[in-house]
Amino acid sequence: MSYMELPKLEDYEVSPKTGFLPDELPIRRLSDSYFDPWEDLVEELPSLILVKKIRELVDELPILSVERIASDKRELRRAYSILGFLSHAYVWNVDIATENLPKALAKPLIEASEILEVPPLATYAGLILWNFRPIRKSAETFDLDNLTTINTYTGSIDESWFYLVSVYFEYKGAGCITGGLDAMKYVREDSIEKVTESLKSLAEAIDMLGSVLMRMEEMCDPHTFYYRIRPYLAGWKNMADAGLPNGLKYGDEEEYRSYAGGSNAQSSLIQTLDIILGVEHYPTGQREETRDSKVVSASSGSNNFMNEMRKYMPGPHRRFLEHLGQVANIRSYVTEKNDSLLTLAYDASVAMLKAFRDKHIQIVTRYIILQAGAFKKSGSKNTLRSGISKTAEKKDQKGTGGTALMPFLKQCRDETGDTAAGEWGQSILSKNVLTSRPREDDTPGVDTKRPKLGLAGSWSSSDDGAAAGHW
């Protein structure tokens, strides 16, 4: 029998050591002085945001081109990251959002995005994957306590920590990628013992990712995140309440462009784990009962939001997921062999992924749902959230995803549990026995049953109404 080859990481800019992070550290400043106008401006971005001078100074920028660095991916990533930061600051820094991005930002941002195969705005790649550096060269490079950001909007520790936890998350996830590929290789060799051991290791690695995620609470304050950081992560898709009913015009373009804001749903690692384990996702409100299916395809899930988020990933990473989806074989092998130890190891990995999604729900609840509820409950008219129009602030926080945020996240969690292969796993994981519940005393009196929020990452499909929110 002939098989399509398993994906080779190096073909898709994926590293066995750093995962979807670049194997070479991002550069801290563009080497050509030609780009100093950009670098000088982004270096002072937090101060310029504070005094609301960013639009004025961006309007004075010369129109530069990235053509001279088009063949240097590290330089190009740096340019893309800078232009993303400046563009979002330009749009959201003043009380009334602008629907026109000046040519000095639009032209080079579009140029860079086309080469890197990402949309022209601040994506997860520009904010996270290409925006970190070690503090001390002598220490362990990827230790979370030795990382800092290159740029932020606010200059705050909270914002840096928010990005850096995701950097560390991606780094620790490298073992999940290699472990999953190992398991897939052993399936082809029909080695039940090796597949079992690989799945045990994968379960432990996914469990560690959940612990990394919960470190967000150490140095990122939910109130600061919601009011001072998150607004600048907003894109220009479904943002009518915030002053962008049609999206954004780039430079001299006559047509509006509409893009979702930065979201951790744009992380290729999360979708990689789903594909490896054969987890299916469907449009919100249309959860499929996959537990009784003998074979779960890793690529046939029809969740429009998650498919859309692939468009925001770097092209090579997107193609990696496509290749992986075509060769995923673990769940079908587990159900076919019906081996008790193999099934238990597989279900343990599924359980850890479901537990990770529970922790994600807890973080989203604390950092977004409760904060939105607290603002609405307070009835405050004096709190001005940077980057959000006063009109939007008064509109009941429906934002771009409305009330579908938590239903989406919970359905993703439940669909993960549906993937369990054994009777014990199906029984335990389908009943939410492992579900974590956020602490209800964080914001007393706030009703979180029908969250209404929006901005960065909350997105609604025009096709089926499915929506999701991250960050």
- Note the pLDDT of residue 433: 52
The closest alpha carbon to 50, from 153, 166, 203, belongs to: 153
pLDDT band at 451 (very low <50, low <70, confident <90, very high): very low
The mean pLDDT value for 259-271 works out to 94
- Note the pLDDT of residue 461: 39
Please state the domain extents for the chain: 9-286+297-430
pLDDT at 450 over 60: no
Please write the tens of the pLDDT for every residue from 14-48. 999 999 999 999 999 999 999 999 999 999 999 99
DSSP code for 239:
B
Dist CA 93 CA 49 (whole Å): 6
- Note the pLDDT of residue 378: 64
Higher pLDDT, 440 or 153: 153
pLDDT band at 161 (very low <50, low <70, confident <90, very high): very high
**Residue 339: how many CB atoms within 10 A of its CB?**
17
- Note the pLDDT of residue 417: 83
Please report, rounded to a whole number, the percentage of residues in the chain having pLDDT higher than 90: 70
Please write the tens of the pLDDT for every residue from 106-139. 999 999 999 999 999 999 999 999 999 999 987 7
| Mean pLDDT estimate for the chain | 85
| 131-140, 164-173, 339-348, 393-402: least confident range | 393-402
pLDDT at 470 over 70: no
The mean pLDDT value for 257-268 works out to 95
The mean pLDDT value for 315-329 works out to 97
The mean pLDDT value for 355-382 works out to 83
CATH 1.20.58.480 fits 9-286+297-430, yes or no: yes
Q: Is the separation of the CB atoms in 353 and 299 below 8 Å?
A: no
| 52-66, 217-231, 424-438: least confident range | 424-438
Known binding residue 360? Answer is: yes
Higher pLDDT, 293 or 87: 87
- Note the pLDDT of residue 71: 97
The closest alpha carbon to 42, from 97, 96, 80, belongs to: 80
pLDDT at 466 over 60: no
What is the edge-to-edge ordering of all strands in the sheet holding 256-257? 100-101, 248-250, 256-257
Give me the residue label for tokens 């840096």. 160
Q: Is the separation of the CB atoms in 77 and 26 below 8 Å?
A: yes
CA distance readout (Å), 216 to 24, 140, 414, 435: 25, 20, 23, 19
CA atoms within 13 A on the CB side of 110: 14
Cβ burial, residue 447 (10 Å; 0-12/13-18/19+): exposed
pLDDT at 198 over 80: yes
The mean pLDDT value for 248-276 works out to 96
